[in-house]
Chains A and B, each alone.
Chain A
Amino acid sequence: MKISLDWVKEYTRIKIPTPELKEQLTLRSVEIDAVTDFNDMWKDLLVGEVIAVRKHPGADKLSVAKVDTGLKILDIVCGGRNLAPGQKVAVALPGTILPNGTKIEAAIIRGQESEGMICSSEEIGLMKEGERHILVLDESAKNGVSLAKAMGITQEVLNVDVLPNRPDLMGHLGMAREIAAITGAKFMPDKHKLPKKMKETLALKVDVPDSKLCPRYSALVIDNVTITDSPAWIQNRLRAIGLRPINTIVDLTNYLAADLGLPFHAFDYDKISGATMKIRASLPDETLVTLDGVSRSLPAGTIVIADKDKVIDLAGIMGGQNSAVSQTTKRIVLQTAVFDAGAVRKASRLIGHRTDAVALFEKGVDGENTINALAKAYDILKEQNGDIYLDRVIDEYPKKRQARYITFTEKHYQTLIGEPIETREAGGILEKLGFEIFEKLTSGLKVSVPSWRPDVKIPEDAIEEVARIQGYDSLKEGLPFVPLKLYAKKPMVLLKRAASRYFTSMGFQEAVNYAFLGKSQLKKISANESMHIPLQNPMNAEQSYLRTELVSGLIRNVESNLRHTESVRLFEVGHAFFPGAEGKLPQEKTLLTALITEEAITFYAVKGIISGFFTALQRPDIDFTTTGSIYGQRGTTASVMHKNTQLGDFGLLTSTAMKNKQKNLNTWWLTLDLNTISELEKNHPEYKPLDTYPAVLFDVALIVDQALPWKNIEELVRAGGEGLVGTIELFDTYIGEQIPPGKKSLAFHLNYQSLERTLTKTEIDPIHEKIIHELTTTLHAQVREK
């Protein structure tokens, strides 16, 4: 929304310099994100008068104009098609830098000297007003006067970022009220009254069967209109706020919308067939060619205005071409109405067309002001078009607005804001903003809320009004006194942090990936897209599903990092998403996945990282079983188990999932289900006395079947040890030439130890022999000579 301070000054005096005004508004009312200073922007531009025009001898499309700039008469080559003698134009002298950065220099153009430039509107930072059209100024402009002054744009224009709750700031009148309240200046709104006399010869029946769609419909039927150009002051005000002047009626509707924050529309009365207008929801298959020439099919629920035969207006969005005002229009219906904000917004979204009117309606327009606004419109039109007359006034307003009252108390204010206030002061602020004091209470007020403030509904809203105008900056800071409490920490919060600590200490760098992924990523890890929750409105194909694993994102990260490094350890902690069963909500799991790409990293190293994690968590009672995985190489994958619950899995990625360019690099993944792990009971370690008696040490080497699990050997040794077996430590596994095919050699340290006495060889030898015997008979192990 653009707000011209020249315009605002019609309603209030601006007592502070613009930079300060900008800051005060930003702090207390509405953010000003930019300020345009036309004085500065146009400082080198001035008014010139075209005295004579002749064809350029060397170029068909160019003319040479003699331009009187007050001090000097210049020859200027110009391509404007509308150039004509007698015009007042905007002249840029050599040396001028235009708003778009172009520097004007004296030049020879096709053999003809040009001592400057006659500007088009777009060349000086305004809206384009026609193909190869120069900007023509009002004939009253004096030669040599600065352009800003001649156009009456001497004050800054503010770019206002109006918050969605403040429809009243969508117009100059409302902004003036706000500025007056902030600066303490007087606010002077204008008053208009419709003529009492009406001709009432032009019939118009307006039918609003459902007042929910259109709570108020107000319009004037005006006769004897002449469509021409608007007066310069209207044109220039519109230009200053970034609009393009069109004609008397279009400019009038745009002017009033920007002035009062109410959307206006004008119909050609004679194009309304049957002299009837019905405001209703659209019927199936209805279409309308709107003012912009686009044929639009209307979604169900669109509010339309229809005459006897056809739809003529997309209410609240845009008018129809079939009822538009044209150069020959004589009689108009000038409307300002209130349409249902929700319906307008929805229709605009479904049609895919957003207009300024939509922006006004969805914030909520002031339905109380329609007749006053139409009166102002009539007065402005009458000024330019003296022989118009009012034929009829239509005002369908079945359910009048109920006054809304709010109670403001000093106590409530102090409780919420933390600062005291006096009722008198608060009342003064509220009155400045248009609230009316309905009743004085002890230490408080009952106020009525102005119709242009639909956002103010509860006492807290009124407190905010007072607090913001007082200035949030005067708030005293403090910290509250509160009862201390020892909060139980969530197991997941603790686990995530412990996991982070462990994996970073193991050399893993944490990554964070998006929660969504695309088909190509799913294909890479052979995942089935139907198992994934689809986004209904993804921004691109690469983000169309929610992830069910963290592996695929990390694979991408590893691949891109391998372009500049040789080995990578990455991990991520994040949610994975699973569709719910029939009628159930989707499930979210917190997973930890790590990827390792290194030379010479083995299954046992990855398994060891996992075991170490559980040791660090003091939850060491885990187990491993073989499982398959869609992205794991056969024979390399395993599950991490606690009893019968799966806690995670790991393995070597298939070459489809992760193609390593270097042959000797492998990529292993490991995934831990933190939800399940966080629910495990912690093992509380119990102190065991340290061994004080020396151990008897044996080294054993066995040749066994490759398929024989180590666990079986360990269990057998311990079972046969008569309680005297201490640690058993596997230190070498070998498969190779010296071993028969299908066999493996396992070497381990076996410690016999007692907590009570020193063991002797004579005591242990028989036990050891018995164990070896058991190994050879039960497990068919062959003892290797040392």
Chain B
Amino acid sequence: MAMTGVLRPGHAQVRVLDLEESVRFYRDVLGLVETGRDATGRVYFKCWDERDHSSYVIRQADSAGLDFFGWRVLDTATLDKLDADLQAYGIKTERIPAGEMLETGERVRFTLPSGHVMELYAEKSKVGNGIPLVNPAPWSKARDHGIAPIRLDHALLYGPNVAEVQKIFTEVLGFYLVERVLTPDGNGNAAIWLSCGQKVHDIAFAEYPEPGKLHHCSFLMESWDQVLRAGDIMSMNTVAVDIGPTRHGVTRGCTIYAWDPSGNRFETFFGGHLPYPDYETMTWTFDNFGQGLDYPQRKLHETFLSVVS
């Protein structure tokens, strides 16, 4: 099998300021499927076409932002190996027991030099997408409820030490660098896009003085048309929209950035080119960052650089 190691973004846990308002937003406007609530009050969601129990978890708190981002790995042997590899590289890891999150196995947790908490896990209950595995229909009526993305696609995180973060992902976790934006002096990377498979990115980081910041979690749409429909639903519900609908130069993805009711940015995303691990990295100079962000408007929107949670 070609895909081993880290398979995909598995879950994000995000803090919200008002739980029930946020549940209504994520369930009825974004159109995620609520799959459970645990004893600590966390609410679990998945996108309609995802098969695992949950991919997006919210928790009431007095600040917004990201608690942690979790990666699904191939199996428990892979989990143990990556844990050992991280420790050998000099990164402290911690084991979170199975069941601490609903329907989720043991997790290996560690903190990146950017201040973000990452997790690896090998087991999460498969609850299915509501479509039988034998003679499946292409979609279910869950596709029409709200914006209804098909999966948690990636996240963009802001924090310091992006060069060290890149080394951990590429040298330990098996990712490769798909695209990057250079710093103004051209000597370093201001932002990096990393893939662990053939998606244009599974995670991205941008250099930022404050550690552990969330720029956005991104949800995958099936078409550009569905991105436009997402924009209609945002406006019908007076969702705070940041940028778009437009197309990124970086990744070539089609996008809308908007904020949840607590000021956590999210993205409805479609497309992007399909890289392979042997492809050469594509580079954007800082003076072309505007085209990288918003190709038609060629505009480096101020909120992109300065508004995070």
Say whether A and B bind each other: no
